[in-house]
Amino acid sequence: MRADFVVSGSKVTRPESINFTLYSYTHGTDYRYRNENQVTIFLNDKARMSGTARPWFMNIDPRGGVTEYYVFSIPYDELLEMTKGNKVGLRLGNTKFDLTGDHIEALRDLSRAIE
């Protein structure tokens, strides 16, 4: 997972949104998330927001590996809420994972660089 943002000009200002990229590599010969690219963000075990992730890069290696990158954006204020949560999780398709303390701290670092 990667989080980033874009602002115009040379000064870091509060962005409208934060972009997330989710990476997946699986063994096999077919895409895992092509038809299941719904993303849900959970805060303290409750669904906070959901939407559709856009495919950014998709490749099937003839030797049997499948690489997929999906991108979605959230409003900057939602990022701030994520940094306050005790437990934050993401679900892409049927795959759900919890963010670790290091992930949350990295999001806090990102928000501190902006504020």
Sign of the CA dihedral running 91, 77, 71, 64 = negative
Strand order in the sheet with 88-92: 46-52, 38-43, 88-92, 95-98
Q: Domain 2-108 - what CATH class?
A: mainly beta
Domain boundaries, the chain: 2-108
The dihedral region occupied by 101, where left means phi > 0, alpha psi between -120 and 50, and beta the remainder, is alpha
pLDDT tens for the chain, 115 residues long, are 889 888 888 888 889 999 999 999 999 888 999 999 999 999 999 999 999 999 999 999 988 899 999 999 999 999 999 998 889 999 999 999 999 999 999 999 999 888 6
